[in-house]
Amino acid sequence: MIPLTHGTSRKLTHDKFAKELSKTANECGMATTCKESQLLYRDQGRPDQSRKRADMMTFSGGCVRENQRLNFNKNTRLIMDVTIGHVFDTRHVFKRRNIQAMETKKRRKYAEH
């Protein structure tokens, strides 16, 4: 459980989620970190790096299926990035496509990399 209070900042909430997900992965035997200094840059290897990092990363490969076309092999590390969003608006009406929209935006951010 992640204890949050009303008025908790979005960044603090995001960081608590990343820490909790990393802890869960470690408890399940997948060595993972959410320490910013250990994370790869989101667009590493590009000449115009944004210097933005992912949220979590595994320390060992084996979490991604091998795929020559995508250059994934047994040593490929799994990079994880968290998005926080609301599925209800301020009137408590369900926002039908919000999760799909957040996923599309996140995929688009990484597609070119």
d(CA 25, CA 34): 11
Q: How far is CA 52 from CA 19, 60, 110, in A?
A: 18, 22, 12
Identify the pLDDT of residue 106: 81
d(CA 77, CA 16): 22
* pLDDT tens over the chain, length 113 residues: 455 555 567 788 888 888 998 899 889 888 888 888 887 776 666 676 666 777 888 887 666 778 888 777 777 777 777 777 888 888 889 988 888 998 888 888 777 65
Identify the pLDDT of residue 87: 84
Order of strands, edge to edge, in the sheet holding 32-33?
32-33, 56-58, 79-80
Q: Quick check: pTM over 0.85?
A: no
